[in-house]
């Protein structure tokens, strides 16, 4: 009996170690899967971790664009709505591509086998961010050719718009 107690204690310590590593801080995740909450057109939150979609940039919530008929429209809000239609309250898996200065990470995110960044760019709600990656250039060219989403009019690239707001 005395030999069983140390063995049981060792097993319990081992289980506690595994449980501790599973509940690691979100910043330590390389892959995270969970129910997504949409923050804006290119940012999700899963289990308290903010994730910017890799290789794309979408208009900010407050950003406006000019439609083909010359009317101003809330393209940033529509881009957020588009991502919400794809991902809100769904199980999303994101693989960390890089850590960002603000504590977020940039991730390649999927619902099943579908790449969220590719879907957003193909639909025209985000643009390929060539400063970071050339992964979604073909989807962007297709959206532009077919005048989907942002491409139905004129818009300021999101990073330029953000700089103008400073």
Reduced 3-state DSSP string for the chain: CCCHHHHHHHHHHHHHHHHHHHCCCHHHCCEEEEEEEEEECCEEEECCEEEEECCEECCCCCCCEEECCCCEECHHHHHHHHHHHHHCCCEEEEEEEEECCCCCEEEEEEECCEEHHHHHHHHCCCEECCCCCCCCHHHHHHHHHCCCHHHHEECCCHHHHHHHCC
Domain that holds residue 132: 28-164
pLDDT at 30: 87
pLDDT at 54: 95
3 lies in a domain? no
19 lies in a domain? no
158 lies in a domain? yes
pLDDT at 99: 84
pLDDT along the chain (166 residues), means of 10: 38 34 45 95 94 96 92 96 95 91 88 96 97 95 97 94 91
Write the CATH number for 50: 2.40.50.90
pLDDT at 120: 97
Q: How many domains does the chain have?
A: 1
1 lies in a domain? no
152 lies in a domain? yes
């Amino acid at each position: 009996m005395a030999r069983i107690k140390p063995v049981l204690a060792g097993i319990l310590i081992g289980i506690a170690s595994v449980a501790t590593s599973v509940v690691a801080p979100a910043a330590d995740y390389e892959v995270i899967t969970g129910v997504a909450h949409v923050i804006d057109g290119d940012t999700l939150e899963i289990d308290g971790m903010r994730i910017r979609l890799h290789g794309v940039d979408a208009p900010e919530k407050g950003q406006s664009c000019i439609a083909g008929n010359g009317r101003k429209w809330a393209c940033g809000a529509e881009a957020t709505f588009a991502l919400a239609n794809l991902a809100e309250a769904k199980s999303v898996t994101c693989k960390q591509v890089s850590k960002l200065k603000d504590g977020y990470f940039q991730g390649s995110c999927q619902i099943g086998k579908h790449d969220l960044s590719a879907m957003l760019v193909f639909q025209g709600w985000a643009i390929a961010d060539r400063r970071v990656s050339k992964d979604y250039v073909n989807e962007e060219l297709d959206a532009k050719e077919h005048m989907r989403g942002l491409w139905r009019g004129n818009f300021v690239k999101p990073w330029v718009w953000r700089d103008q707001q400073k």
